[in-house]
Amino acid sequence: MCHPLPLTGVDITFEVEDAQTISFRIQVKTTGVTGVEMEALTAAQTVGLTIYDMCKAFDKDRVLGPAYLEQKQGGKSGDYVRYNM
C-alpha cells in the first residue's frame, strides 16, 4: 500500500452508526521493523474513498475523516497508544 513491507495480516471492521456515519477500523500486521502504521492509515483513507465513491451518486456532501493512529506496537519508535480519543 504505502511501503514495500511484508504484510502478514489486514483486518477491516465496519460499524454503521446512523444514516450519515460509517466508522471503520483497520488493523495491519507485518514482520517488518517499521512503517506499518502508514499501511494502516493508507488503508483507512482508501476505504473511506471507496465508500465515498459508492455513495456519491446520491450524496456528494459526504465528509471523510478524521483518520488517526489509535495504537502501534514495535518498530523503531516503539509502542504508541492514543489516549485522547
Return the active site residues.
Answer: 53
Nearest residue to 69 (alpha-carbon basis) of 37, 31, 42, 35: 37
85 CB-contact burial (10 Å; exposed 0-12 / middle 13-18 / buried 19+): exposed
